[in-house]
Amino acid sequence: MMVFILVMSLHGLQSMITELLPEFSVGGLGVSIGPFWFVAMSVVLLFRSFWACLAIPVGGIVFGEILIGDFSALGAVEGLLVITASWFFAMSLITDPTDPKQIAGVGLLAKAMEETAAWFIDVGKFYIGVEELEAISWLPATVWATEGVGALIQIVVAGIVFGAIPTLFLYPRLRGKIEPLLGMRSVEGRDGSTVTSSSLKRLVAWVAILPLAFGAEALSETSGGIITFTPEFVETYGQTFLFVPIVVAAVIAFGLVAYRQRKVEGTGA
């Protein structure tokens, strides 16, 4: 639970900070800088648990949707399923948690899997007519290239530039320092092949989840979110309202670390 709360709040914090940064255009495609994926890559892969993976999308939902007043239950399902499954599979490939290159590579793979899944889902919505995407009217197949280029740019920008590269420097500085604050030991490596039977099962689960994520996303476009919370605080109060989830996430994250550190020191653990 401590790991879940820490990852959720840290991911929510950096996600909202990047919301304050402007988008830029590459070849006419809008590209957002964030989230700063090196935070998730570095912290989640320190603990390598299912709950750490689940905390990534939950952090985005709580701090990036609910607290800013723009939440749709069905709309949140895609990220909840795809992001969790992508990270859960990727982390199963780690054999040496002391190797920053392996950690960065696994983090990049998780981001690439997420963007690839989103690419298929977005194109699928175009073909069933629930969303209009950029495509040449007489050649609908161009939507594959348009959306694919967007996914590739996000992999490069978020997965490499603001993901794998900073992780190479941040991860080794966090390993062995964050875990004791939560009263935990660093995860050890393992012998054997990178791909195991457990990894294959997780990959099969990732593939099986895609239709579920697509169905939920398509329903959210046609029937609404079923459960919605849309007071739209940012539209009402302006961009400065983004500091509310930023402050809340920061208080939770750093308050949790301080609390656990005092408790661990008090018990002599």
Query: Is residue 269 over pLDDT 50?
Result: no
Q: What is the mean pLDDT of the chain?
A: 87
Dmax over Cα atoms in the chain, in whole Å? 70
The fraction of the chain above a pLDDT of 70, given in percent, is 90
Give the tens place of pLDDT for each residue, 170-189: 999 999 988 888 888 888 88
Q: pLDDT tens across 144-173, in order? A: 888 898 899 889 988 999 899 999 999 999
pLDDT of 199 above 70: yes
Q: Work out how many domains the chain is built from and give that number.
A: 1
pLDDT digits (tens, 9 = 90+) for 244-262: 999 999 999 999 988 888 8
Predicted model pTM: 0.90
Domain that holds residue 186: 2-267
pLDDT at 26 over 60: no
Per cent of the chain over pLDDT 90 is 50
Q: How far apart are CA 165 and CA 157, in angstroms?
A: 10
- Rg value, the chain, Cα: 19
Closest CA relative to residue 112, chosen from 74, 75, 164: 164
pLDDT in tens, 52-87: 999 999 999 999 999 999 998 888 999 999 999 999
pLDDT at 165: 94
Output the pLDDT for position 107: 92
Q: What are phi and psi of 71, to 5 degrees?
A: -120, 135
Section 42-60 average pLDDT: 92
Structure tokens belonging to residue 111 = 């981001």
